[in-house]
């Protein structure tokens, strides 16, 4: 690092520094050398935190203009040249919003017909380009593919302002208009099938196209979703964090351009490394980690927004308890209504309840979507100051955090923290116009410098391509890979069309299940040939035994189910519509007898994992596959067949109308939606558009049967989407 940069940075960190003229002259001289302008840019951004102290701030604005950071130029110092430049770099969505120079390059290259794959820092402003593409009204149907429901929620809120021009579509059962913005996960892209209209598509966090393991099912789905979209439309924009590039051949095959703006920053970052001397298991290292964490938290202002990253929901929960035990955050009444509602609807001993009262919360993928979204909103409103999270907030969800603390040495799975993940996390510190300088505290070793090249196996057909990816290629598969999947064409147990229909499931597991049913067709036919949404005990137990034997239910459910009989009991409770609080109590009564030190938090985590991972997704797709397999096998022998589709559909919606659960993604908890459905006659309870219109027609009413907090939640839905 250059000496001048280190001196300038240290001066800016000194609150008594006031030699602004000499600093500005230094910056001008260094800029005119055109050698390391990224360092000049870093110092100029740091100066913005102290702009009010600089008498000749017009010089700072001049430097901002030369660096292309036009949004930061103060309008008081604007010249005729700046006015003209603002016209050139203005965004189509808002005349008050200005592109910085790199954003403008990306936007105009896309508008001129190029397909762009963008690698840039987290705070670059990549999503502003997405909004500009929408606001240009150049495309009738835009598909935006995001990795999480949380990102769907954020983008719906952001783009709902365009509802007069576009229908915002995020759920498969919504009706389509002539012009639509689809905001979908890769799974939902595949569920839409032929209904999906595409004139332009966007893949956010495109690095997820590269599998992280041999069984990266979500990467497979994203690759297949890309293939489906590309077959309909060859216009796209893919964006993501810093990488080295794309694997050789992808740019040529897709006729796209990879743009790398890794050093173009809009916020500056201070890095604080805390080496750990303790080695061994987490419980041993945590003693040292916790001591450092306490020192860091004590050094920060209680009003500064801080996110702490750790590797699992259980770690997040335990860390919240530890921070509460530090006794450095006073109880506040600002979130009292939220804490009370959580207590009433889940359990009063849930650690999140006490945390919320102290303006501390955790966020992970198992928390109900509406609750998780509210937690992020409260953090951005500074009503929560400490947010402990897993990898869920790495992927694109914007916050106003000034400080990031990386508590664990692995955040995504069991893989050690690498430079790619580190950059993605650290980019969450600071935010344009909120915090010009962010802080990142790392507890442990500095990650290695190497950044990855991203593969797209659906294009390259590399060794990273899974069996199901290769099968989905059909006649486009190359000669080298035909041998790899030859066995699926040659086997006679299960037709290939059934395997491809259920492409989210390992084909070997499907064949194993089919072979088992075939071998026991005569014995099992009677217990399997049922057609109802409410199977009897022997029928349900038999299905649970098949699923538990042939699929990794324990892993799919994140450890929430340990046997086929337990799976049957938990499904039965869903069928009986047992509420969350009672499910939690039942699970605790069971777990506390079986496991030492079992807590209410453990029960809550188990119920959340069961509902989201199993009931809400994995079990229905497995049951649909089982339905097709039993139908095929029993028809071979002219036996009667079952029909499990009604059972799977009802289970997926927890035996409530589908729109009731759909409201969860609009920020309305199921507990509130149930009250509305119970007290009103809703003619089309399975159509989310109809239900939203129903609520819209009553948006000025106070729902007397809801408490004040629940009415506040409903008003949030109105303010965002209606």
In b/e form, how buried is each residue of 92-124, taking b as 16+ CB within 10 angstroms? bbeeebbbbbbbbbbbebbeeeebbbbbbbbbb
Please tell me whether residue 716 adopts helix, strand or coil conformation: helix
Task: Determine the pLDDT at residue 123.
Answer: 82
Identify which of 263, 147, 125 has the alpha carbon closest to the alpha carbon of residue 205: 147
In angstroms, rounded to a whole number, what is the distance separating the alpha carbons of residues 165 and 663?
23
In angstroms, rounded to a whole number, what is the distance separating the alpha carbons of residues 11 and 19?
9
Task: Determine the pLDDT at residue 700.
Answer: 57
Residue pair 123/267 in contact by the 8 Å Cβ criterion: yes
Task: Tell me which H or E stretch contains 273.
Answer: strand 268-274
Gyration radius of the chain over CA positions: 27
Which residue in this structure is represented by tokens 């509802």?
A: 163
Q: What is the 3-state secondary structure (H, E, C) of 507-576?
A: HHHHHHHHHHHHHCHHHHHHHHCCCCCCCCHHHHHHHHHHHHHHCCHHHHCCCCCCCHHHHHHHHHHHHC
Identify which of 75, 120, 121, 118 has the alpha carbon closest to the alpha carbon of residue 95: 75
Task: Tell me which H or E stretch contains 142.
Answer: strand 141-145
Segments of the chain with pLDDT less than 50: none
Quote the longest CA-to-CA distance of the chain.
Answer: 91
Task: Determine the pLDDT at residue 212.
Answer: 85
Task: Determine the pLDDT at residue 582.
Answer: 96
In angstroms, rounded to a whole number, what is the distance separating the alpha carbons of residues 12 and 216?
46
Residue pair 149/369 in contact by the 8 Å Cβ criterion: yes
In angstroms, rounded to a whole number, what is the distance separating the alpha carbons of residues 411 and 389?
10
Q: How many CA atoms lie within 13 A of 678 on its CB side?
A: 9
Backbone angles phi, psi at 532, to 5 degrees: -160, 160
Residue pair 576/656 in contact by the 8 Å Cβ criterion: no
Residue pair 38/263 in contact by the 8 Å Cβ criterion: yes
Which residue in this structure is represented by tokens 């893989």?
A: 415
In angstroms, rounded to a whole number, what is the distance separating the alpha carbons of residues 657 and 165?
29
In angstroms, rounded to a whole number, what is the distance separating the alpha carbons of residues 190 and 141?
17
In angstroms, rounded to a whole number, what is the distance separating the alpha carbons of residues 520 and 567?
22
DSSP, residue by residue, 342-372: HHHHT-TT-HHHHHHHTTEEEE-TTS-HHHH
In b/e form, how buried is each residue of 142-160, taking b as 16+ CB within 10 angstroms? bbbbbbbbbbbbbbbbbbe
Cβ neighbourhood burial of 209 (10 Å; 0-12, 13-18, 19+): buried
DSSP, residue by residue, 249-270: THHHHHTEEEEE-TT--SSEEE
DSSP-based helix, strand, coil % in the chain, nearest 5: 55, 10, 35
Identify which of 550, 542, 548, 544 has the alpha carbon closest to the alpha carbon of residue 523: 542
**Which pair of tokens denotes residue 453?**
């090249």
In angstroms, rounded to a whole number, what is the distance separating the alpha carbons of residues 621 and 504?
8
Backbone angles phi, psi at 443, to 5 degrees: -95, 95
- Cβ within 8 Å of residue 591, ≥6 positions away: 598, 602, 603, 606
Residue pair 629/514 in contact by the 8 Å Cβ criterion: yes
Pairing of β 236-240 and β 200-204: parallel
Task: Determine the pLDDT at residue 154.
Answer: 87
Torsional class of 329: left (φ above 0), alpha (ψ -120 to 50), beta (otherwise): beta
Please tell me whether residue 621 adopts helix, strand or coil conformation: helix
In angstroms, rounded to a whole number, what is the distance separating the alpha carbons of residues 580 and 594?
21
pLDDT digits (tens, 9 = 90+) for 267-304: 999 999 999 999 888 889 999 999 999 999 999 887 78
């Amino acid at each position: 690092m250059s000496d001048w940069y280190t001196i300038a940075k240290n001066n800016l960190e000194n609150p008594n520094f006031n030699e602004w003229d000499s600093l500005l002259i230094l910056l001008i001289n260094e800029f005119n050398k055109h050698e390391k302008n990224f360092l000049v840019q870093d110092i100029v951004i740091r100066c913005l935190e102290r702009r009010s102290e600089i008498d000749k701030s017009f010089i700072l604005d001049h430097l901002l203009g030369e660096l292309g950071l036009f949004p930061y130029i103060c309008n008081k110092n604007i010249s005729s040249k700046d006015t003209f430049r603002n016209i050139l770099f203005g965004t189509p969505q808002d005349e008050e919003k200005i592109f910085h120079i790199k954003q403008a390059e990306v936007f105009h290259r896309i508008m001129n017909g190029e397909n762009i794959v963008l690698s840039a820092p987290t705070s670059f402003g990549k999503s502003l380009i997405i909004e500009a593409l929408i606001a240009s009204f150049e495309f009738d149907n835009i598909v935006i593919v995001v990795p999480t429901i949380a990102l769907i929620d954020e983008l719906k809120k952001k783009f709902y302002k365009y509802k007069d021009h576009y229908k915002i579509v995020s759920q498969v059962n919504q009706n389509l208009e002539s012009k639509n913005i689809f905001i979908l996960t890769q799974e939902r892209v595949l569920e839409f099938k032929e209904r999906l209209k595409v004139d332009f598509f966007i893949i956010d966090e495109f690095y997820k196209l590269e599998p992280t393991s041999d069984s990266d099912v979500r990467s497979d789905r994203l690759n297949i979703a890309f293939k489906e979209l590309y077959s309909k439309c060859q216009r796209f924009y893919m964006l993501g964090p810093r990488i080295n590039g794309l694997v050789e051949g992808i740019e040529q095959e897709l006729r796209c351009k990879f743009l790398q703006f890794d050093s173009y920053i809009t916020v500056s970052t201070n890095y604080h490394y805390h080496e750990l001397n303790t080695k061994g298991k987490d419980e041993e290292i945590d003693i040292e980690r916790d001591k450092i964490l306490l020192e860091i938290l004590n050094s920060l202002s209680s009003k500064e927004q801080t996110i702490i990253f750790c590797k699992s929901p259980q770690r997040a929960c335990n860390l919240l308890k530890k921070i509460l035990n530090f006794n450095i955050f006073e109880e506040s009444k600002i979130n009292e209504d939220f804490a009370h509602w959580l207590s009433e609807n889940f359990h009063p001993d849930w650690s999140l309840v006490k945390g919320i009262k102290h303006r501390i919360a955790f966020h992970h993928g198992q928390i109900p979507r509406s609750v998780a979204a509210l937690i992020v909103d409260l953090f951005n409103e500074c009503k929560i100051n400490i947010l402990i999270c897993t990898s869920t907030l790495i992927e694109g969800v914007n916050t106003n955090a000034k400080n990031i603390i990386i508590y664990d040495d692995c955040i995504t799975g069991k893989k050690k923290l690498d430079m790619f993940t580190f950059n993605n996390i650290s980019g969450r510190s600071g935010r344009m116009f909120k915090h010009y300088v962010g802080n990142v505290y790392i507890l442990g070793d500095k990650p290695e410098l190497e950044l990855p090249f991203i593969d797209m196996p659906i294009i390259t057909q590399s060794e990273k391509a899974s069996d199901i990816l290769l099968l989905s290629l059909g006649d486009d598969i190359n000669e080298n890979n035909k041998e790899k999947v030859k066995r699926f064409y040659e086997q006679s147990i299960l037709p290939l069309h059934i395997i491809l229909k259920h492409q989210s499931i390992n084909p070997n597991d499907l064949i194993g299940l089919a072979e088992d049913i075939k071998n026991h067709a005569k014995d099992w036919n009677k217990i399997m040939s049922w057609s109802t949404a409410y199977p009897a005990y022997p029928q349900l137990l038999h299905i649970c035994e098949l699923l538990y034997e042939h699929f990794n239910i324990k892993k799919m459910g994140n450890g929430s189910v340990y046997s086929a009989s337990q799976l049957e009991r938990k499904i039965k409770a869903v069928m009986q519509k047992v509420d969350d609080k009672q499910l939690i109590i039942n699970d605790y009564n069971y777990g506390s007898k079986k496991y030492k030190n079992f807590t209410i938090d453990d029960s809550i985590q188990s119920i959340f994992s069961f509902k989201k991972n199993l009931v809400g997704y994995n079990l229905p797709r497995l049951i649909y596959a089982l339905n097709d397999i039993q139908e095929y096998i029993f028809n071979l022998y002219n036996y009667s067949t079952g029909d499990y589709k009604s059972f799977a559909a009802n289970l997926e919606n927890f035996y409530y109308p589908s729109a009731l659960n759909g409201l969860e993604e609009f920020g309305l908890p199921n507990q509130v939606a149930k009250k509305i459905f119970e007290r009103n006659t809703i003619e089309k309870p399975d159509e989310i558009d109809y239900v939203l219109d129903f609520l819209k027609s009553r948006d000025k009413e106070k729902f007397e049967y809801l408490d004040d907090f629940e009415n506040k939640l409903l008003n949030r839905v109105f303010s965002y989407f209606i």
